[in-house]
């Protein structure tokens, strides 16, 4: 189905301006601390898709470009929490566990010409999975350190800043004036690693300092700005919330935005830094600690406001689905619903939701006999055109959606098959009779493989296949949660998918 076109999305962010501002801010902070700065690097270092969604034009790899500019001055330490390895925590945008993401991050950095100085497994307590992770890295000649829970933390500053506290952790040798401390995700122990290193550096007579680099919340835009509210939505499962930094207001009589955990932890952190460095107060507020310049890169406020509202709705669908899958609790769902209400948003703010649901309803009305569950899907192309699809006995909804989308972009008539019915039936027979599959309909990954083979002898298929890359960044919605082959295929194509919180099958075990 093809729908009305809308105005293409506007660019809202200037990467080059951001790079200039951010590089300058970091280098100026290094100078303040005896030319040795530990920079806690929050958010995603590579492939920051949240930022690219809420700040249209934001290069998801702009932060790695920043590190490339600083690579002669920077060492990189990667932290990962042992508990996340043990419970196999998943990074949602890639669908891989945090330990796998750590391996991927090391590989990605190398491709950008950057090497990891060391990996730190934090809050390590001999967890079996964490020990296996450590062995894998060490046998590939990567330095690995294990840090235990810091004795006395968070209130006994005298114990924390002692040989029984931070001093108990091994010192990580670094050579360059800037040490970037990063991680696959939040709660990975970056701060504790920075502070332990500061303790050891200052014992060695090096007056090293600490700073924090976060993209969100953006400190110099309003508390209720949709970009900052979208950060709250993204961390609804962590129960984070933004607020005006009271420490900054007290010190400077001006508003700046921070989030609850940094504000709550600041008095203790301030005392720890003061004791480690044996000096007067280094910072007067959590905002002071930051070197965050994302706000200076915004060049079109209305564009980023609209994009951020769309992200809030995406998060609403995501947490609703995670609740159904047992990955989120009811409080998380209530929190995201409250954010939606505060921002006066509803699911239909997302343009692809209504046509997807309509496609499912139309398929249900036209069904013949007992044909099972019907799934509708809709996708918005870059030019604003809407395309829909639905499932059938031989093809999943995600498969028909993608085929319809690339046919539309290639200008191919609806009545022309990209895959012949005979080809689809042959694969279905293989799945049923040889592989003993419970369902024979083609998921998206299977469909794409079949299409690539067909394109070798079908010029129309080859034309359509060439349009797949243009789906990256497109918005899509499905009325049922996708099965693994569909989810993986949509993710690899770079499609921003949301789904209604419904299962597409009654089976508890699906592959």
Residues 164 and 139: beta-carbon distance below 8 Å: no
* pLDDT(436) > 60: yes
Residue where one domain finishes, among candidates 292, 316, 347: 347
Tokens matching residue 349: 């703010």
What 3-state DSSP class applies to 389? strand
Domain that includes residue 435, residue range: 351-499
Quick one: average pLDDT of 348-376? 85
* pLDDT(20) > 50: yes
pLDDT in tens, 46-80: 889 999 999 999 999 999 999 999 999 999 999 99
Task: Please tell me whether residues 410 and 333 are part of one structural domain.
Answer: no
Place 414 in a pLDDT band, splitting at 50, 70 and 90. confident
CA 64 to chain centre: 15
Task: Please tell me whether residues 484 and 396 are part of one structural domain.
Answer: yes
Residues 81 and 188: beta-carbon distance below 8 Å: yes
Residues 179 and 77: beta-carbon distance below 8 Å: yes
Task: Please tell me whether residues 42 and 114 are part of one structural domain.
Answer: yes
* pLDDT(187) > 90: no
Q: Does residue 103 sit within a domain?
A: yes
Of 499, 188, 476, 93, the C-alpha closest to 319 is 499
Q: Please tell me the distance from the alpha carbon of residue 479 to that of residue 497, in angstroms, as a whole number.
A: 11
Predicted pLDDT at 5: 53
Predicted pLDDT at 128: 94
Q: Does residue 460 sit within a domain?
A: yes
**Does an H or E element contain 105, and which?**
helix 98-111
Return the CATH number at 387: 3.40.140.40
Return the CATH number at 104: 3.10.630.10
Q: Please tell me the distance from the alpha carbon of residue 325 to that of residue 315, in angstroms, as a whole number.
A: 15
For residue 298, what are the β-bridge partners? Answer: 13
Residue where the block lists tokens 């924090």:
212
* pLDDT(141) > 50: yes
Higher pLDDT, 185 or 383: 383
Residue where the block lists tokens 């905002």:
287
Task: Please tell me whether residues 202 and 58 are part of one structural domain.
Answer: yes
Q: Does residue 280 sit within a domain?
A: no
In sequence order, what DSSP letters do the residues of 140-190 get, joined into one string?
A: TT--EEE--PPTTTTT-HHHHTSTTTGGGSPPPP--SSEEEEE-SSTTSSH
Task: Please tell me whether residues 59 and 201 are part of one structural domain.
Answer: yes
Q: Does residue 507 sit within a domain?
A: no
* pLDDT(1) > 70: no
| DSSP code at position 419 | S
* pLDDT(123) > 60: yes
Residue where one domain finishes, among candidates 215, 246, 275: 215
Task: Please tell me whether residues 358 and 470 are part of one structural domain.
Answer: yes
Mean pLDDT for the chain overall: 91
* pLDDT(511) > 60: no
Of 309, 386, 400, the C-alpha closest to 355 is 386
Predicted pLDDT at 432: 82
Task: Please tell me whether residues 433 and 339 are part of one structural domain.
Answer: no
Task: Please tell me whether residues 331 and 355 are part of one structural domain.
Answer: no
| DSSP code at position 432 | I
Predicted pLDDT at 112: 92
Q: Does residue 164 sit within a domain?
A: yes
State how many domains the chain has: 3
For residue 477, what are the β-bridge partners? Answer: 378, 498
Give me the percent of the chain exceeding a pLDDT of 90: 74
| DSSP code at position 430 | I
pLDDT in tens, 489-501: 999 999 999 999 9
Residue where one domain finishes, among candidates 194, 215, 236: 215
Q: Please tell me the distance from the alpha carbon of residue 381 to that of residue 283, in angstroms, as a whole number.
A: 48
When mean pLDDT is compared over 112-121, 419-428, 437-446, the highest value belongs to 112-121
Residue 188, φ and ψ in degrees, nearest 5: -90, 0
* pLDDT(4) > 50: no
Could you tell me the pTM of the whole model?
A: 0.89
pLDDT in tens, 250-288: 999 999 999 999 999 999 999 999 999 887 788 999 999
Q: Does residue 5 sit within a domain?
A: no
Task: Please tell me whether residues 211 and 329 are part of one structural domain.
Answer: no
């Amino acid at each position: 189905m093809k729908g009305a076109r809308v105005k293409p999305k506007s660019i809202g962010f200037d990467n080059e301006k951001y790079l200039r501002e951010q590089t300058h801010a970091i280098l100026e902070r290094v100078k303040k601390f005896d030319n040795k700065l530990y920079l806690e690097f929050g958010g995603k270092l590579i492939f920051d898709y949240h930022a690219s969604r809420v700040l249209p034009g934001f290069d998801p790899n702009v932060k790695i470009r920043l590190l490339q500019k600083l690579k002669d001055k920077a060492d990189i330490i990667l932290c990962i929490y042992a508990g996340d390895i043990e419970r196999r925590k998943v990074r949602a945008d890639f669908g891989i566990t945090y330990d796998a993401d750590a391996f991927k991050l090391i590989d990605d950095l190398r491709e950008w010409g950057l090497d990891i100085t060391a990996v730190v497994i934090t809050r390590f307590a001999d967890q079996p999975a964490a020990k296996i992770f450590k062995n894998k890295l060490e046998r590939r000649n990567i330095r690995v350190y294990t840090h235990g829970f810091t004795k006395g933390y968070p209130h006994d500053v005298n114990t924390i800043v002692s040989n029984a506290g931070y001093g108990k952790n091994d010192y990580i040798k670094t050579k360059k004036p800037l040490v970037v401390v990063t991680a696959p995700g939040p709660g990975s122990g970056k701060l504790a690693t920075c502070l332990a290193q500061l303790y050891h550096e200052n014992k060695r007579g090096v007056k090293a300092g600490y700073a924090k680099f976060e993209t969100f919340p953006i400190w110099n835009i309003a508390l209720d700005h949709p970009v900052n509210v979208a950060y709250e939505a993204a961390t609804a499962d962590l129960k984070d919330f933004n607020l005006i930094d009271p420490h900054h207001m007290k010190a400077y009589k001006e508003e700046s935005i921070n989030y609850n955990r940094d504000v709550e932890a600041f008095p203790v952190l301030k005392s720890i830094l003061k004791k480690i460095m044996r000096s007067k107060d280094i910072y007067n507020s959590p905002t002071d600690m930051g070197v965050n310049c994302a706000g200076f890169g915004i060049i079109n406020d209305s564009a980023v406001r609209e994009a951020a509202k769309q992200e809030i709705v995406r998060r609403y669908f995501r947490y609703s689905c995670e609740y159904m899958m047992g990955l989120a609790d009811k409080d998380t769902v209530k929190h995201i619903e409250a954010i939606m209400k505060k921002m006066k948003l509803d699911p239909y703010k997302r343009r692809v939701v209504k046509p997807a649901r309509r496609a499912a309803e139309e398929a249900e009305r036209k069904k013949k006999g007992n044909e099972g569950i019907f799934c509708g899907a809709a996708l918005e192309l870059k030019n604003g055109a809407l395309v829909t699809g639905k499932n059938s006995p031989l093809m999943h909804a995600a498969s028909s959606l993608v085929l319809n989308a690339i046919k539309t972009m290639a200008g191919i008539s609806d009545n022309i098959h990209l895959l012949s019915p005979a080809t689809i039936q042959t694969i279905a027979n293989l799945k049923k009779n040889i592989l003993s599959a419970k369902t024979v309909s083609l998921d998206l990954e299977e469909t794409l493989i079949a299409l690539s083979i067909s394109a070798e002898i079908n010029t129309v298929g080859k034309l359509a296949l060439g349009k797949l890359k243009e789906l990256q960044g497109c918005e899509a919605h499905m009325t049922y949660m996708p099965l693994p082959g569909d989810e993986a295929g949509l993710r690899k194509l770079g499609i921003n998918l949301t789904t209604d919180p419904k299962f597409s099958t009654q089976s508890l075990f699906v592959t």
